[in-house]
Structure formats: structure tokens, C-alpha cells
Amino acid sequence: QVQLVESGGGSVQSGGSLTLSCAVSGDTSSWYCMVWFRQAPGKGREGLASITNDGRSVYDDSIKGRFNISLDSAKNTVYLQMNNLKPDDAAMYYCAADQRAFIACTHWRTLFNSWGRGTQVTVST
């Protein structure tokens, strides 16, 4: 298993940008798949984007074109760049990791092995 620590959350105005980071430690050779999720108060958790350690990525339609997931293998860090943020994007953002190949990595409703504690994003009008 790996340990995940998210950072980069904060408060921005509508239309602003943030870049979230998910630092991976522990047995870093054991993960192949990383997913960013978010959960707003009173709502269910939703998958946003996933990336495998060969760099292939998939996005949910709700954020496609505004968010970008990327991987820095040397730093064992996965990023989520978020642009043109809207009030509906306000939520706790989590990263999760697992040993999965590309297709399985897109099954966001299944249980992932490792989770971070989250980083809060607030968007004001």
C-alpha cells in the first residue's frame, strides 16, 4: 500500500484556478492508478479524473476541458490543475490509488485501496 497526502486546496473566486497535489509515499512501485474524487456537503462522492503510471488519463464529462490531471513520476506526485472554477466545484477533494490497469482505473465507483485525507476547495461568487 501507499500513503497519499493531498495539498493545494484553498479559497478562490469564481473563474479562478487552483492546482491540487497528491504526494505518494511508501511502496511507490505498487501503484499503477490514481484517481481524483470530490465530495460536496450533502452530495455523493464523484470521480473526476484518473491517470495510470504510464500517463494515460480519463476525465469525467463534468470537468472535461477545465481540469487537467498529470503525473510527475520523479516526484511521485499527481496533480489536478483546475481552471475556470465555479461555485459548484466547491468540495473536499481526495486522491485515491490502487494497483489497476488503465480500464479498471476508470471504474470509479469501485473501492480503491489507498486514500488521502482530502483538501478543501472553496469557490466564491
Provide mean pLDDT across the span 79-107.
Answer: 95
What average pLDDT does the structure give for the chain?
94
Report the run of H or E that residue 10 belongs to, with start and end.
strand 10-13
Residue 30 has pLDDT above 70, yes or no: no
Q: Mean pLDDT, to the nearest integer, of 20-49?
A: 92
Higher pLDDT, 32 or 31: 32
Determine the pLDDT at residue 16.
98
Contact 38, 46 (CB under 8 A): yes
Question: What pLDDT sits at residue 27?
Answer: 81
- Supply the pLDDT for residue 29: 74
Contact 18, 8 (CB under 8 A): yes
* Distance (Å, whole) CA 17 – CA 2: 28
Query: Tens of pLDDT along 112-122?
Result: 999 999 999 99
